[in-house]
Chains A and B, each alone.
Chain A
Amino acid sequence: MPKKVLIVDDSMVARMSVKNCMPRDMDIEVIEAKNGSDGLEKFTEHVPDITFLDLTMPVMNGFEALEKMKQLRPSAPVIVLTADVQKKTTEKVVSLGADRTLKKPPLKDDVVAILREYLQS
């Protein structure tokens, strides 16, 4: 059964940049969402094994989506993928329960390492 990866980002290019990092030797089903609200719905519906979440999005931002996701499933890995690399932003998402933060644009090696860590353990 494939592992489910949810990518939440309002930018199609940003979603594509994460999708392209998926290693071919892993059986992965990618689910995409265009904002925090859409992401939260798909998080509930699909129960992803890992979520990559942007912060700056319309409708519902990533901070709010992260908080709600962690309320729904505290153990679900959520990786914040953001261009906002300020120290206080990192501290805030960690306090909301983010399992890791990654700087945009993501490096393939970093994404692969995270997928192997969370999906193969």
Chain B
Amino acid sequence: MGRITETERDALQEMMNIAFGQAAADLSEVLDVHVVMDIPSVSVLSPAEVRQHMQQSFVSESTFSIIGQEFGGNLKGYSYLLMQAEQRSNLLRMYMDARPGKGDAVPEEMERDLFMELGNVLIGACVGKIAEMLGDEVRYEPPAFHEGSDASFMQMTGTEGVVLSFKTVFHFEDNDVTGYLFLLSGSDDLGWLRYAIAEFLRPYLEED
């Protein structure tokens, strides 16, 4: 399996931290709620390990709502936002409370659309910022909605080479909502990524 150095992994982790920080700020504006960020993690996996890696986020036998979105550029892969289905309602209530007409009931069919839209905002801000820091530009496929209690919805399992997993867990302060955000980027060759990381680090390494 391809390898990255500890410095490269640290750089990717810091990029995820910066990208999710921006995405959280965008989301907190939309929802008028404070997003508490956990420390992001970056793992290098074989395609066969990805589903197991993701499965660890499925706690108890809860049903999860999942937004999946494919992105492509030099950085390419899939991003997933996972949230327990019952917490999705809390998230949408927060969203509705932040808008005029506060207190109105949220129609069932609207829940899914809103969840997809929020997932789209979060994923777009996060993937876009990481791509920008890597000097890349990505295109997005439309997001897709899934519901389930395991990671069987996952794609990428047939990918050759290695998979980089960026994972962050977040919570909404004073609300019982926890979300899991995964960015999975598959690559047959880490050459471009290593070059892009080196470019990102160059300003920090160069002498005046």
Contacts and interface: CB of A to CB of B under 8 A. Distances in A.
A82 B14 contact: no
B125 to A, nearest CB: 12
B201 A83 contact: no
A101 B54 CA distance: 35
Contacts of B14: 11, 13-14, 104-105
A113 interface: no
Contact of B39 (A13, A14, A57): A57
Contacts of B6: 12
Contact of A84 (B37, B205, B208): B37
A16 B24 contact: no
Interface residues of A, number: 22
The A interface, classified by DSSP as helix, strand, loop or mixed, is loop
Interface in B179-208: 201, 203-206, 208
Nearest to B24: A86
A85 B24 CA distance: 8
Contacts of B11: 13
A14 B28 CA distance: 24
Interface centre among B25, B35, B204, B208 (most CB of A within 10 A): B204
B205 A86 contact: no
Contact of B7 (A13, A17, A58): A13
B13 A83 contact: no
Contact of A85 (B21, B201, B206): B21
Given A10-B39, A88-B34, A104 B7 contact: no
A56 B201 contact: no
A20 B18 CA distance: 18
Given A14-B14, A20-B205, A88 B28 contact: yes
Given A24-B208, A89-B34, 18 more contacts: A10-B39, A12-B6, A13-B10, A13-B14, A16-B201, A16-B205, A17-B204, A20-B205, A57-B39, A82-B21, A83-B17, A83-B18, A83-B37, A84-B25, A87-B28, A88-B28, A105-B14, A105-B18
12 contacts: A10-B39, A13-B7, A13-B11, A14-B14, A20-B203, A24-B208, A56-B38, A83-B19, A86-B25, A89-B34, A104-B18, A104-B21
